[in-house]
Every structure is written in C-alpha cells, then in structure tokens.
Amino acid sequence: MNANARGCMEKDERTHLVTDIVAKHKNSKGALIPILHEVQELYGYLPVEAQETIAKEMNVPISEVFGVISFYSFFSLNPKGKHKISICMGTACYVKGSGPILDKLKETLAIGVGETTEDGEFTLEDCRCLGACGLAPVLTINGKVFGRLTKDDIPEIIEGCKTEGGSVL
Amino acid sequence: MQLFRSHVLVCGGTGCTSSNSEAIMTELNEKLVKNQLDAEVKVVQTGCFGLCEEGPIMVIYPEGTMYCRVDVKDVPEIVEEHLLKGRLVTRLLEASSQVQEDEQDIEKSSFFKKQLRVALRNCGRINPEEIDEYIAFDGYKALTKALTEMSPGEVIQTIKDSGLRGRGGGGFPTGTKWDFAAQQINDEKYVCCNADEGDPGAFMDRSVLEGDPHSVIEAMTIAGYAIGATHGFVYVRAEYPIAVHRLQIAIDQAREYGLLGDNILDTGFKFDLEIRLGAGAFVCGEETALMTSIEGKRGEPRVRPPFPAVKGLWQKPTILNNVETFANIPVILLKGADWFASMGTERSKGTKVFAVGGKINNTGLVEIPMGTTLREVVYEIGGGIPGGKQFKAAQTGGPSGGCIPASHIDTPIDYESLIELGAMMGSGGLIVMDEDTCMVDIAKFFLEFTVDESCGKCTPCRLGTRRMKDILEKITKGKGVMSDIDELETLARDIKASSLCALGQTAPNPVLSTLHYFRDEYEAHIRDKKCPAGSCKALLAYEIIEENCKSCGLCAKNCPVNAISGNKKEKIPFVIDPTVCVKCGVCFEKCPFEAIKK
Amino acid sequence: MKTIAELEAIREKTLKEVGMRTDNDSIRVVVGMATCGIAAGARPVMQAFLTETQKRDIHNVTVTATGCIGVCSLEPIVDIIDKEGHKVTYVNMTPEKVAKVVLEHLANGKVCSEYTLKENQ
C-alpha cells in the first residue's frame, strides 16, 4: 500500500471518529464547544473536512461552526509543529522580563508568534497567565514548564528540543 | 483504617507541579519504603499552600514544618534526618522561620502570620482527590444543615446578613443576587460557576479548584437549593488541566456518595453539575458572554437588562458566582453570618485572596482580611522588593484595574478604597512594580491585552482600544507629541461611555490610572524623549561615566557591534558610539565598576 | 447513596486520621530516634505507641521522632509532653513497657513512675 492510500484510510477513519464524537454529545445542550475540544484533541487542529463533518452531523451551517472556531483562541485552523512553545505573557511574567525572552525566541527560531518553522519542528505561541507566577518568567514546551528564565537560556532549550524529545534542564 | 504518626504533604498545585513536585512524591515514597517508614508516614498530595515563590513546598505534620524549594536530591536527607531521626533539615526551612528553630510551624512564619485563610481553608491541608478528607474537615456539613434545618429563604438571608460580595471583580452582594433568582417563577433555573480566570497574574480560583474542589461543589448545591435550581455548570479555562481533572474526580465522588444527584442525602432534593471548558477568550469571564459560550456559541456579551437572574442561560433565571465567592459559602452557613461579618471593613466583609506577583520576594497566594493595608501585604507578607529596590506601585484588577502608587501604600484594601484610588479589587491579581518598571509600558501591555481580547461586537472597544494602543506605542518609541495625552483621555472617556460590557467599559482604566499618578513619566517620554525607568528600549542611551571608567575594556570586548572604543594600555576611558549602539545592554551588565548608565 | 448519619461516620473516622493537620492541643509522644536510639530499639517502641493508641482509640496523641538526647545508655528514651508542656521522660523503653504506658499514662493520666528517668538513676 502506498503512502497516499494509507493517508486516505486514516482520513476516513478519523471522519468516523468525528461522527462518533458528535453522536456522543449531540443530545446535550450547547454541545458544539465540547465537540470541537474533542475533535481538536484528535487532529491537533481543526481541519476543514472535520468542520464539514461536524456541521453535517449537527445539522447546522458550516459558517456557524467556523464562527465559533475563529472566535476562540484555543481552537486552531492550522497544524502545529512538533514542539509547541508557549511563552507566558501574563502580567507577572511580563514585569519580570518575558518580553526580551520572546524576542530571543523569535530571533532563534526565525518565526513570529503563531507561526510554525518550515521544518515543522517548532510552533511559537504567546499565552495568558499559566499561573506559575512563582517561577516567572515561564514558558512551556508541549506542556513541560521551564521557569525562572533569562534570554540566555533560550538557545540551550531550543537545542535540547532538537537533539532529543526536549528533556533539557 | 491505618493511623500514621506523620503526614508529609506535598504541594500538587500548578506552580509546584511545574517545578517537579511529582518526581518528589515518587522519590519520597521510594525512600520511605527503603527506610521501612511506609507504615508510619503517609504521603499526601495537596493543593496550593500559597507560597509559590518557594516551591516545591513540603509540609510535615504533626510538627507543621515547612520545607521550601525542595529538590528530588533533598528527599533522602529529609527522610533520614527528619522522618527517621526527628532532626530538622534547617537549610530547607523557609527563610523567615530559620531564625528560631522552635518556630518552625508554618502558621508562625511571617508569610502566614498575617493571613486569615477562609476561602483557602483546605488548600494545602487536604488531599483534594479524597472526598473523605474534605468531609473530615466539616465538608458537606453546611449542605446537610441547609437541607435539613433551613428554608431556602433562610439560606439567602444568612448570605445577605454576612455581607458577602462577589469576589470576581464587581463586588455585587451575593445574597441579593440569589434573592433575585429565587423570586423568579420558572420550571428551570441554573447555577453557574465562573472559573474562567482570565486576568493575567491571578490564579486563586485555579488554586481553590485544585486544592479544594468539593467546597465549590457543596456551595453550588446550596445555591441550587436556595434559588430552586436543579442543574449547574462550572465554566473552567481549558488552560487549567489539573483543576479540570480534580474537579471531575470530585464531581464523580460526590455523585457516588449521593451528594449530587436525584435524592441528595435522602432529603428528596435534586441537583447535578457539569463542567464546561472555555476555549481561550478573556471576554467569556463577563457573565452574559460566559453564558452564551456555555450555550455553544461565540462568546459575545449581550445587553443587560434583562439580568441573568431573570433571563440567563437558555433564557432561564441563572445565578453566576466565581469560585472564590462559592468557596466562602459553606463556612458562612456553618459559622454564621455574624462570624463572617466580624471580619473586614464596614462595607467589605470577610477576606480576599490575592495572587501577589511581579517584583516581590514572596510570590504567591495570600488571603487577608479586608482592610489590611497594601504595606502589610507588600512588606510583611510579601517580604519586600528584591534587590533593595524602591516600591513604585501595585497594579490590581488586571486589564480592568489600575495602579496604587507608593504614596497610597497605607490604604486599607477593600472594594471602596480601591475604586476611590482609580484601581479596583478585580479578581485579585496584585502585581508589584519597582523603580525599573515603566508605567507607560505597563499601560501599553494592558492595552495590547484588551485589543487582543476585545470580542469585536462594539466599535468603540474594537477600534478605540487599538487606537489607544497605537498612541502608547508611539510614545514608548519616543515619537509622541503632547496632544497625544489629551487624545488618550478623550478616547478613554468615549470608550468607557459607549461600550456594552465591562471589558470595554474598563479597558481604558490602566491608562487613566497611570496618567493620573505618573503623568510625569508620560511627559518625560514625550518631551525629553527619556524613559525614567530605563525600560523603553527605543529611548535608552547607554553612556560611560568617565570618572568611573577604569579602562578595563570588558565592555568593548563584549559589545556585539563594536560600538565601544578606548585604550586599555594607555588608560584612556572608553566611549560608546550611539550611532552604532544597538542598546542590547551587555556592556551595562558586564561592567564591574558600574561605570555605565542608561 | 449516603445518609446524613453515614456522612457523620465518615467524618469521625477520617478525622482521626487527618486530625494532626489542624491546630491541636494533643499530648506529644517524642521518641529519641538518633542512631543510638534506633540501635537500642527505638523503632519497635515507636511502632508500639502507634498500634497501642490506635487499639485503645486514643486520638489526642501525636507521636513524633526527635534527635539524640545525649544519654545514650538510657535509650530508647521517650518524652511524653502534656498540653501544658509538662514533660515526663521514660527510659530503657520496650514495646511491652509501651503497652502499659499507653494504658496508664495516656488513657488514664497516671504516670508510670517505675519507668521514668528518676526511678532509673
């Protein structure tokens, strides 16, 4: 079986899973957002075909589905990189210097906020308070927290991700 | 049941989990087995103790010894010294309690001494994933009392008499809100809990959900009884995975015990709860937007009236309180309205939790009686400003709030006094700033936040905040003109007057407040093209102070763009060429003689 | 589903287990657990205190360890400190002696003077 065919099958399978997710929530009130959360969990983002399936199964126009997705920053229309770097831009982190750290990240990765590197390795995001203010300034890579940072720590952290699943520090 | 001689509590809040408390638990259990202490010593994962700066935190009972910044490597020593031989590991004690070994009890350390833990009463004391531990500390006793001894009207009257006001920001009297909803006649009513803690720098609601989820469940059930609702929703930020997880465990346990469901405690009362996840929209912290979001739509606010107590979720009467407000309810019913009203000031009763952060030594969660002064919070509980710097201001209320400058540091903190100062209670973020923080930059920071988070429904908020941000950006880049200040003020007034919801109505506050107290800083940026705090990069100019320069050449060696010249051998002082300098600040950091100023 | 009475039973039972985490005014049993104490058999003594108090349903007692008291020849040494801070020191303890101390001293408030420091000197 060639890679393309396999891709198609996976796609079909996932469409089925989306249908199942919708069926599970369909009868509860206000189900769209919980459905989107679960579908995003499945794909890592919300591709157009999944949106189409959701709209069809829920019997609502796709514009409504898209409208909700685009309103909430948690939902993404694009695939993410292998390492998702989120830098905390909460007030405590900002006052303690997360700005220069973000600049350093942009410079090191050569991408802007919300973008993914061409090799699909890194996605850079800024996020709201993670609540780890005691460790400010803070960033997370795929959920793992790096705290009490200075901008000089950045190259090492990025290198650590590249060499091996990201277990620096 | 097994009795243990000692309980070791390890913080499992987000702050401490981020600094590896999970690995500490694993190591601790291993070492206890190795030393054959596992039958005598119990390890318990709890919620946040509040002293996040010093995390990961471990508390050992019955002594109440608190160990700070514990590393996995420290665990063998704690087990062998403290648990086996009963000797303190003094180097890990919290700094303020090191002076006197007898005073190792956490309650006596300066961080906890002035605090009064009501909403956080169980955080750091119980295992949040064990309903029995919550029950042991009087959990679900208030619910029992309400269902068996009190009428719904009496519950509402008690909450009214206590003087409890909403802890989410506005400070609306909770009992009055409940009364409005109770008076509505409808087949369906709802109780909602706002756990969409969006204010950057505030995390008390998360700590309550993580450390004491049952208190929220109990309170919402009581609220359901009081207003006649049978269904509730907790709207939690998706960014709080630990809180969501523990809350779900707690809901399942409560259902299993029949504390949620069709026939609660065999009294015939029916109530159940559901968690709904937010999806990263700050505006959903606004009550009408939150309800629209639970309905599965774009979380845009709508016009009030009708107020949610009349027409809320799915057009049914609904009450919405935040997590901290709910956490106060069970204690009020148990200890009485008079007890609660005896704390605090005349119009602000009880306690308030603040997330203290920024330029302060003890970052963390503190719960203080209303009326405590800012000075006590910053210098006594917070341990002062690091590096001996000057306190400049504290920011409360996040993007809706304002600053309290040093000249008002002795103001007692309550709803009214903060509003009078142009700040607000907000959800309880308290960010401390020192002399190095630029107030124009902070105003810009908050405006960037509101520009990002404006839902776009009302034009004044959508476009007006962006315009204000552009002006602030211009000023921080040294391109401002004096009329910009007037324009900021006009825009602020218009946006406040013409926005539908609180987001827009309060968005200009950070600017107005900094303009009020720190107008000179704005003027310095515009007129003198200087940033007095030395924080706005475009306005910085590094300069070498000739008489301090020892011609060591360290600055020139480290300069990435070769902007510094001089002569080491002939002891000619070095100079910076401002046309080449990129203001990276390396020379400033490297100079051993403090000969470089900015 | 739990009834109110069952809830109260859970409360009482769990409180025995977690009560040490509140401000309590309990009697403290302090066992010397330095190297010399452990070598002399302090560990079974400590365990005996736990099992005996549990057996007799005594809750207002906390059992803790302490370092070397300095009279190694009299180990295992146990101090019992009451709410007012009065201290009674028992020496050369064994699990059998513990059973008696728990019954007489902790349960009935009567000092077992035959095991105390004074009698042994």
Give the pLDDT of residue A10. Answer: 63
CB contact at 8 A, A133 and A90 = yes
Which band of pLDDT confidence, cut at 50, 70 and 90, is reported for residue A7? very low
CB contact at 8 A, B324 and B219 = no
Give the pLDDT of residue A6. Answer: 44
Residue B358 to residue A36, Cβ atoms within 8 A: no
Q: Is the Cβ of B40 closer than 8 Å to some Cβ of chain C?
A: yes
pLDDT tens readout for residues B218-232: 999 999 999 999 999
Among B242-256, B563-577, B584-598, name the most confident range. B242-256
To the question of pTM greater than 0.90 for the whole model, the response is no
| Partner-chain residue, chosen from C47, C54, C65, that has the shortest CB–CB distance to B86 | C65
Those of residues 336-355 in B touching chain A at CB distance below 8 A are 355
Domain assignment present for B179: yes
| Overall domain count for chain B | 5
A134 pLDDT more than 50: yes
Integer CA distances (angstroms), B496 to B200, B288, B461, B490, B512, in order: 21, 18, 8, 10, 11
Q: Is the Cβ of B239 closer than 8 Å to some Cβ of chain A?
A: yes
The pLDDT of A99-125, averaged and rounded, is 92
Domain assignment present for B232: yes
Residue B33 C-alpha, separation from nearest chain A C-alpha, in angstroms: 28
Residues of A whose CB is below 8 A from B199: 129
Q: Long-range contacts for B494-497 (Cβ within 8 Å, ≥24 apart)?
A: B494/B460, B494/B464, B495/B460, B495/B461, B495/B464, B495/B465, B495/B468
Give the pLDDT of residue B102. Answer: 42
The pLDDT of B272-277, averaged and rounded, is 96
Domain assignment present for B1: no
Residue B52 to residue A132, Cβ atoms within 8 A: yes
Give the pLDDT of residue B107. Answer: 64
Q: Could you tell me the CATH number of the domain that includes residue B291?
A: 3.40.50.11540
For chain B, give the percent of residues with pLDDT over 90: 70
Residue B560: is the preceding peptide bond cis (ω within 30°)?
no
SS3 readout for B59-106 = EEECCCEEECCCCHHHHHHHHHHHHHHCCCCHHHECHHHCCCHHHCEH
Binding positions of A for [2Fe-2S] cluster: 88, 93, 129, 133
- Which residues, at least 6 apart from B178, have a Cβ–Cβ distance to it below 8 Å? B156, B159, B223, B226, B227, B319
Residue C65 to residue B85, Cβ atoms within 8 A: yes
Residue from B192, B204, B239, B42 nearest B123 by CA:
B204
Quickly list DSSP for A24-65: HHTTSTT-HHHHHHHHHHHHSS--HHHHHHHHHHHTS-HHHH
Give the pLDDT of residue C85. Answer: 77
Q: Is the Cβ of B279 closer than 8 Å to some Cβ of chain A?
A: yes
B279 and B138 housed in the same domain: yes
Can you give the residue ranges of every domain in chain A?
Answer: 3-71, 83-163
Residue B301: is the preceding peptide bond cis (ω within 30°)?
no
pLDDT tens readout for residues B346-399: 999 999 999 998 899 888 889 999 999 999 999 999 999 999 999 999 999 989
B189 and B252 housed in the same domain: yes
B269 and B367 housed in the same domain: no
B362 and B448 housed in the same domain: no
Residues of A whose CB is below 8 A from B51: 134
Q: Is the Cβ of B216 closer than 8 Å to some Cβ of chain C?
A: no
Domain assignment present for B228: yes
Residues of C whose CB is below 8 A from B136: 10-11, 14-15, 17-19
More confident of the two residues C99 and C66: C99
CATH of region A83-163:
3.40.30.10
pLDDT tens readout for residues C10-65: 998 888 888 777 766 678 888 887 777 778 888 889 889 988 888 888 877 888 87
Domain assignment present for B125: no
What rounded mean pLDDT belongs to chain B? 92
Which band of pLDDT confidence, cut at 50, 70 and 90, is reported for residue B97? very low
Domain assignment present for B480: yes
B184 and B151 housed in the same domain: yes
B303 and B198 housed in the same domain: yes
The pLDDT of A108-127, averaged and rounded, is 91
Residue A13 C-alpha, separation from nearest chain B C-alpha, in angstroms: 26
Give the pLDDT of residue A5. Answer: 43
Residue from B7, B18, B6, B82 nearest B55 by CA:
B18
| Partner-chain residue, chosen from B52, B314, B395, that has the shortest CB–CB distance to A133 | B52
Residue C67 to residue B86, Cβ atoms within 8 A: yes
Q: Long-range contacts for A104-112 (Cβ within 8 Å, ≥24 apart)?
A: A104/A151, A104/A154, A105/A139, A105/A154, A105/A158, A108/A154, A108/A155, A108/A158, A109/A85, A109/A158
B90 and B138 housed in the same domain: no
C73 pLDDT more than 80: no
Which band of pLDDT confidence, cut at 50, 70 and 90, is reported for residue A166? very low
B103 pLDDT more than 60: no
B423 and B445 housed in the same domain: no
Question: What CA–CA distance (Å, rounded) separates B573 from B545?
Answer: 9
| Partner-chain residue, chosen from B39, B133, B144, that has the shortest CB–CB distance to C7 | B144
Q: Is the Cβ of A17 closer than 8 Å to some Cβ of chain B?
A: no
Give the pLDDT of residue A167. Answer: 42
Give the pLDDT of residue A164. Answer: 59
The pLDDT of B104-118, averaged and rounded, is 77
Per DSSP, chain A holds a count of helices (H) and strands (E) of: 7, 4
Q: How many CA atoms lie within 13 A of B404 on its CB side?
A: 29
Q: Find which of B54, B203, B514, B536 to mutate to test the A interface (most A CBs within 10 Å of its CB).
A: B203
CB contact at 8 A, C76 and C92 = yes
Residue B456 C-alpha, separation from nearest chain A C-alpha, in angstroms: 10
pLDDT tens readout for residues B404-426: 999 999 999 999 999 999 999 98
Q: Find which of C4, C21, C69 to mutate to test the B interface (most B CBs within 10 Å of its CB).
A: C21
A3 pLDDT more than 50: no
Domain assignment present for B535: no
Give the pLDDT of residue A90. Answer: 85
Domain assignment present for B332: yes
Those of residues 255-294 in B touching chain C at CB distance below 8 A are 257-259, 261, 263, 265-266
Between chain A and chain B, how many beta carbons pairs sit less than 8 Å apart?
Answer: 128
| Partner-chain residue, chosen from B19, B294, B442, that has the shortest CB–CB distance to A147 | B19
B136 and B238 housed in the same domain: yes
Domains in chain C and their CATH numbers?
A: 23-120 (3.40.30.10)
Residue C67 to residue B85, Cβ atoms within 8 A: yes
Which band of pLDDT confidence, cut at 50, 70 and 90, is reported for residue B62? confident
Which band of pLDDT confidence, cut at 50, 70 and 90, is reported for residue C119? low
Q: Is the Cβ of B428 closer than 8 Å to some Cβ of chain A?
A: no
Would you state the structure tokens that stand for residue B399, as one six-digit string? Answer: 């993007």
B174 pLDDT more than 80: yes
More confident of the two residues B379 and C75: B379
- Domain residues for the domain of B498 are 439-527
Residue B240 to residue A73, Cβ atoms within 8 A: no
Which other chains touch chain C, taking contact as 3+ CB pairs less than 8 Å apart? Answer: B
CB atoms inside a 10 Å sphere around CB C35:
14
Those of residues 19-78 in B touching chain A at CB distance below 8 A are 19, 51-55
Those of residues 305-334 in B touching chain A at CB distance below 8 A are 314
CB atoms inside a 10 Å sphere around CB B410:
9
pLDDT tens readout for residues B9-36: 999 888 888 888 889 999 999 999 998 8
